[in-house]
Amino acid sequence: MNERKPNNLSLGKFIQKERLARQMTTTEIAQAISVSERVYSHYEEGSVSIYIEHLVALSSILKIDLQLFFDAYLNPEK
């Protein structure tokens, strides 16, 4: 497994926070973006980088401006 990078951790925490705010499960999100639940869990844990097409899908599913994902990634201190 890849080493966790601060930017991936920050983005993963942001995605998890937004998913939980919408009361969605990891299974629901994983199915919606066509990945296994394990892969999706790695995204939230920040242990792997997320593909841009999955960010675009998450933006649509969670109804979040795509820029907010980039902000979470680029500003890991927040």
Distance of CA 30 to the CA centre of its chain: 10
Question: Which of 4, 26, 6 is closest to 15 using CA atoms?
Answer: 26
Per-residue pLDDT tens over the stretch 49-63: 999 999 999 999 999
pTM attached to this predicted model: 0.88
pLDDT in tens, 2-46: 566 889 999 999 999 999 999 999 999 999 999 999 999 999 999
For domain 6-74, the question of CATH label 1.10.260.40 is answered with: yes
Cα torsion 62, 42, 76, 25 to 10°: value is: 30
